Amino acid sequence: MYRWLTECHSTHALCQQEPVDFRPRRLLHLDFSKGNSLIQLVEDPQGRQIKWAALSYVWGGEQSFKTTLHSLPEMERGFRSEVLPQTLQDAVRVCKAMSLQYLWVDSLCIVQDDPEELPHELISMPLIYQRAWVTISASTAACVSDGFLQNRCYSHWGGFRNDRVPISLPYLADDGVGTGKIVFVHASDACSSKAEPINERAWTYQERRLSPRVLDFRSKQVVLWCYTNKRCQGDGSTISWNVPEDRRYRPCLANQKLPKWHEIVNAYATRKSSFPSDKLVALSALADIYRKQSGQTYCAGLWEESLIHDLLWRNPGNTLLPRPKAYRAPSFSWAAVDANTHGETRVYDLQRGHSSDPEAEILGVAIEQDHPNTTYGKILGGSLTLRAPVLWIEWQYNDCAVTDITTSSGGVLSFIRDAKENDRLVGDNVRVLAVSLSEAHFNYIWPYTKCGLMLVEASKGMFRRIGMFECRSQVQVGASIQTITIV
């Protein structure tokens, strides 16, 4: 494992980090001298060449062991690794194996109940992962007490044909003492992906993408990711970047080209956070890199320069989740609702090609941030004003995720809802405003598809999005051109 990382660090130019005078405010100093396992929380660690590992893991609820204003003096005096939850103990063991003396863990290196420190340190987190020597990904652990260095079980590795069942042989280490086993698997199965618990969490997506190299502890294998290749435990092979998993997880820094924004949203939107208000905050560093690369203007998970197409997101799957109780984004942003994690997971249909001549015109967009003059912080409010063809429709309320509605002109709109609504919309018929945005080239069966938003009146003169529509026929969706504001 350590040999992999040393080779990656020394031979791949893209992995070399730009010189920058940055180090985390606090780090865990690991003292392994003379068999000692003392850990100290140190502030402003000295030394220009400090190397630290950053831990990416799933909290899984309230942390029983964390740094608070009360426990800070004790943490600075030092403690033994045995008192840590298992995932953190395993991270310390990995650092020891790599001879790394410093480890960064958010629950320990940030004072969790300091209202002044917490927001400041959250701003620094992207740099912590960008400048870490390696990020340790505890991918198998669903909570901090699970650990990730447990024995891997290959005997029940599903999906194998009879001629591709793994073969296990006993192994004796070079020192003649350590024992283990060597597992032989078919080459095409060597680095197969699996839905690990860490891939369901919001913050871990950005942590992985920002890290120059990731040591990924999966259910079946240990995988090393870096900018130029991927290497798996056992075969030492490299795999090209042309497989879907690599496109999804390949790390990036400010000088590395990001995927299309819609691909990032597709990979991120279904992930969950312990604090729903973090929905956009947990993607803020990648959004900032994207802004620097594209020169575009960010607005609540969307971009002004491509706003017509960015508005045409959908909540995937056939099961609707309740609309969040607490406000976190304007209704026209995908971040305003929780996406279904089962089945189809694409918020944007990447097969779709939109017309370069949209039917709607954006007149203005305004986002109110929690802290003025910020771009990526928590959102207090937002509005979008546009001019577009509109049509009032009577909708018979139901619990279906997709409903076909026939318009007065004979067209059929496929209404794709965003979320379960509250009682205000329950009734025999609900007046819904269909707003046509653009024409999409869907596929060879339906080459012309009108796309737009479905709105309800939130207050006098203001509308709220409740879904989107597709009209797969060449009919006029709305003859009336109006200026409307969506909140």
Concatenated DSSP letters of 418-444: -SB--GGG-SS-EEEEEEEEEEEE--S
For residue 363, name the pLDDT band (cuts at 50, 70, 90). Answer: very high
Count of CB atoms within 10 A of residue 385's CB?
14
Task: Return the half-sphere exposure (C-beta side, CA atoms, 13 A cut-off) of residue 404.
Answer: 6
Separation between Cα atoms, residue 440 and residue 470, nearest integer Å: 9
Which pLDDT score is estimated for 19?
43
Residue pair 257/269 in contact (Cβ under 8 Å)? The answer is no
| More confident site: 353 or 480 | 480
SS3 484: strand
CA of 154: how far to CAs of 147, 160, 166, 297, 460, in Å?
Answer: 18, 11, 7, 48, 61
Residue predicted with more confidence, 401 or 445: 401
Residue-averaged pLDDT of the chain: 81
Residue 187 has pLDDT above 70, yes or no: no
Residue 26's contacts (CB-CB under 8 Å, 6 or more residues apart) are 41, 42, 43, 104, 109, 110
Give pLDDT, residue 487. Answer: 97
What are the tens digits of pLDDT across the range 465-486? 999 998 876 556 667 899 999 9
> Which of 114-118, 170-174, 216-220, 277-281 is the least confident region?
170-174
Express as a percent the part of the chain with pLDDT over 70: 75
- Decide if 44 contacts 108 (C-beta within 8 A): no
Exposed/middle/buried for residue 460 (C-beta within 10 Å: 0-12, 13-18, 19+)? exposed
Report the distance separating Cα 453 and Cα 422, nearest Å. Answer: 19
Residue 244 has a CB neighbour count (10 Å cut-off) of 8
pLDDT given at position 239: 37
pLDDT tens for each residue of 429-438: 888 999 999 8
pTM of structure: 0.82
Instruction: Check residue 244 and give its pLDDT.
Output: 40
Question: Does 162 or 124 have the greater pLDDT score?
Answer: 124
* Statement: residue 220 has pLDDT above 70: yes
More confident residue, 272 or 19: 272
SS3 415: strand
pLDDT of 447 over the 90 cut: no
pLDDT at 247: 39
**Residue 331 to residue 164: CA distance in whole angstroms:** 49
Rounded distance between C-alpha atoms, residue 337 and residue 270, angstroms? 10
pLDDT at 156: 46
